[in-house]
A and B are shown apart, each in its own frame.
Chain A
Amino acid sequence: MSTSVNNTSGEIRDEIKDLETQELTINMGPQHPSTHGVLRVEIVSDGEIIKGAYPEIGYLHRCFEKHTENREYLQVIPFVDRMDYIAAMNMELGFCLALEKLLQVEIPERAQGIRVLVSELNRIASHLLALGTYSLDIGGFTPFLYAFRDREKILRIFEEICGARLLYNYIRPGGVARDLSKSVQEKIADFCKYFVPQLDEINDLLSGNLIFVNRTANIGVISPDMAVAYGLSGPNLRGSGVNWDLRKVHPYSGYEKYDFDVCLGLAEKGVVGDCWNRYFVRIKEMYQSIRIIEQALKALPEGASMGAVSKSIKPIGEIYMQTECPRGTLGYHIVADGTKRPHRVKAKSPCFIAVSTIDEMCAGMMLADVVAYLGSLDIVLGEVDR
């Protein structure tokens, strides 16, 4: 083939006139770095435009739900850690709250305070990872390093609290496994003081950055109606402007005592429900989490960190309970038949349903925007596949 398309007179040559276009099927993942795990998206593209995108999941499927049926209740907690390994405290909290509701036990005030502290710290760590990797997907390397530097500080605190950095097994039915020492409390207070200016810096660096805004604003717009129809939750739902935060609407663990705002996508850039707004909801939520942590630290009462709950628990009944996790509302459906082992544990994963939107949302997008869209959903495949 010759090198130029047009000849000197500006006409298209005959042999090029007859060239046909063809659809191309591309497999994105499961090893693609921007899929945040082992997700495969089968993309049918027409040039740079996507005709269809079909997500394939299950590469990380461990059938956690089957495992739980052969384990005692306390042995299930390490399994729920391994669903969303980025925010394991929040996974444990939901499971323990559901169990406690079945057992109808009182949780000591101090344990509730500690639970709020660790789950909000974990929310910050999770959002930092989300925005760090998101900027990496878009092409900004520096915010990733900033985010991981600060996330490391939270992981150090967790290491001191319970000995583990990612998979904690810390929150137990009845309270928490270990009390919070004075030195850890000081470290958390120091972290709050340290973190707010750092977050300002990340925010200044990334949120208004023209390249970042051009890549994310007005891309992948999910309307509020669509978000509700898909059952999205967490920052993905609030980014579409739906004011629904379980910590506010159905408070648990004493969240009603703390003063914080629900963060919504308010179209400071782009339109409500686009990738930029979902990202910015996470930035705003981190400021609110710091507010909650500061209040919880101040109000942390003295007392026991573990309630009177038997080591071998045998609840009976059926319950569905949801809590607000960094990635959305995580629900546990527990069917307990009065024996030591659960009859059935079903986890409702917010990421599972976020992945299911790819099919409809990505059709008609540019190829490069799929990465921007996937990153803005903030999925963790451990939770999608369970």
Chain B
Amino acid sequence: MAKLRTTFAPTPLAAVKTVVGEAGACPPLADIKSKAEAAGFKLELIEAAPSDPFLKVKADDLVGFLKWIRDDLNLEFNFLQVISAVDFIDKAATEDSPTVRARMELLYVLYSFPLCAYLNVKVELPRENPQVNTVAHLFRAANWYERECYDMMGIKFNGHPHLERILLPSDWVGHPLRKDYVYPEEYNGMKVPL
């Protein structure tokens, strides 16, 4: 028999209001970087205004780094905002834009309540057969974000509990947000209008 959940431990009101820290409590990103390097992670800090600054992590280090930065009591980046994937294909420089190298990028945006700050963590993956270890066991939110990245970009998350398509039908061919995606002419006998 399934069990009915009836009792819940009420959250004490005193604990409710004290979650958020003061604005401006966050140390500069360079400090976080040197702290992480002391803990044994290899990082790269990339700053180019007006873009957001971000920390670049090696794909093998990703899970360990996110776990460390989530559990470190002075940082507590435990609030995962989004996982976003970007696809780049080789492109020569034009008048407006510089040369682009083929790669796949994953952006993890984390938030820390005590520091009142965002942290952008980036991982670079090869375009051919991109794969990285899952963080679904660290953040419950990652479960669906990773499924979406898989659905749209074809990035494989090793160890994910349920890596299946989420927005598209399960028999869809291809990953539509990849830059070399070919639009299908028909789906299950139905013509796809363009």
Contacts and interface: CB of A to CB of B under 8 A. Distances in A.
Interface of A: 21, 45-47, 49-51, 57-58, 61, 63, 65-66, 101-104, 218, 221, 223-224, 226, 228-231, 240-244, 249-250, 264-267, 271-274, 314-320, 322, 329, 331, 333, 335, 337-339, 343-344, 346, 348, 352-353, 356, 360, 363-366, 385-386
A242 B50 CA distance: 31
Given A228-B78, A243-B19, A331-B81, A314 B96 contact: yes
A360 B141 CA distance: 12
B16 A356 contact: no
A309 to B, nearest CB: 15
B107 A353 contact: no
A110 B166 CA distance: 42
Contact of B141 (A102, A229, A249): A229
A272 B16 CA distance: 9
Interface stretch (B5-13, B36-44, B61-69, B126-134): B5-13
Given A49-B4, A249-B116, A243 B17 contact: yes
B125 interface: no
Interface residues of B, number: 56
Contacts of B98: 338
A96 B11 CA distance: 38
B167 interface: yes
Contact of A320 (B19, B97, B109, B113): B109
A66 B96 contact: no
A344 B179 CA distance: 10
Interface string B31-66: 000000000000000001111100000000000000
Given A228-B79, A249-B116, A320-B82, A339 B97 contact: yes
B102 to A, nearest CB: 13
A315 B96 CA distance: 10
A265 B143 CA distance: 27
Contacts of A58: 166-169
B20 A244 contact: yes
A318 B52 contact: yes
B52 A264 contact: no
A348 B168 contact: no
Contacts of B13: 241, 266-267, 272
B87 A271 contact: no
A331 B82 contact: yes
A106 B114 CA distance: 31
A223 B139 contact: no
Given A63-B176, A101-B50, A331-B109, A264 B23 contact: no
A57 B166 contact: yes
Contact of B2 (A46, A314, A360): A46
B16 A266 contact: yes
A273 B11 contact: yes
A104 B86 contact: no
Nearest to A273: B11
A337 B11 contact: no
A244 B116 CA distance: 10
A105 to B, nearest CB: 10
Contacts of B177: 63, 65-66, 344
B123 interface: no
Contacts of A352: 144, 148
Contacts of A344: 86-87, 177
A333 B148 CA distance: 15
Nearest to B78: A228
Contact of A322 (B1, B17, B81, B96): B81
A182 B148 CA distance: 46
B10 A271 contact: yes
B80 interface: yes
B16 A249 contact: no
A283 to B, nearest CB: 18
A73 B11 CA distance: 45
A348 B82 contact: yes
Contacts of A102: 50-51
B152 interface: yes
5 contacts: A223-B11, A228-B113, A249-B20, A337-B96, A348-B109
Given A317-B49, A337-B100, A346-B84, 8 more contacts: A21-B1, A63-B167, A244-B113, A266-B13, A267-B13, A339-B94, A348-B84, A356-B143
A30 to B, nearest CB: 13
A50 B88 CA distance: 44
B3 A49 contact: yes
Given A231-B81, A329-B81, A385-B167, A337 B97 contact: yes
Contacts of A241: 11, 13, 15-17, 19
A333 B19 contact: no
Nearest to A337: B97
